[in-house]
A = this chain, B = another copy of it.
């Protein structure tokens, strides 16, 4: 049995990485909070949407570019993350996954609803846990509107 301190730290770390994911979903759904969104990621983070037929974005600059378009193009967003599962938890790195229902409406009236898996790699930094990589994979068939909306 680990020490009380070590056991407590594991619980705190699990909660902290889940908080980062929730913070990301909240920022995505705000359709405006770019700072809140970017602070979930390390500067060199990879946001990989190739599993759902969209690009792979590397670094804050690229991620900001994508979400600038998303925030401009969408009028509504809702992302519900469930089944948060910690696959690995080390001193300064962690991996987790979640099942996410993401839905939205674009300013041209088009709408989208996807069920996807998020695979997340986290690293501990001097300002807390951050996403080093977020990779998405489809759980259910992807609607055509997903690429229509994001390929504008």
Contact = CB atoms under 8 A, between A and B. Distances in A.
A37 to B, nearest CB: 14
B80 A83 contact: yes
Copies of this chain present in the complex amount to 3
B85 A19 contact: yes
Contact of A141 (B105, B115, B140): B105
Interface residues of A, number: 37
B8 A77 contact: no
Nearest to A77: B139
Nearest to A101: B80
A6 B142 CA distance: 46
A88 interface: no
Contact of A83 (B8, B25, B104): B25
A113 to B, nearest CB: 10
Interface stretch (A9-17, A45-53, A63-71): A9-17
Contacts of A80: 80, 82-83, 99, 101, 115
5 contacts: A14-B15, A26-B97, A76-B138, A80-B101, A82-B101
Interface of A: 4-5, 7-8, 11-12, 14-15, 19, 22-23, 25-26, 29, 76-86, 97, 99, 101, 103-105, 115, 117, 138-141
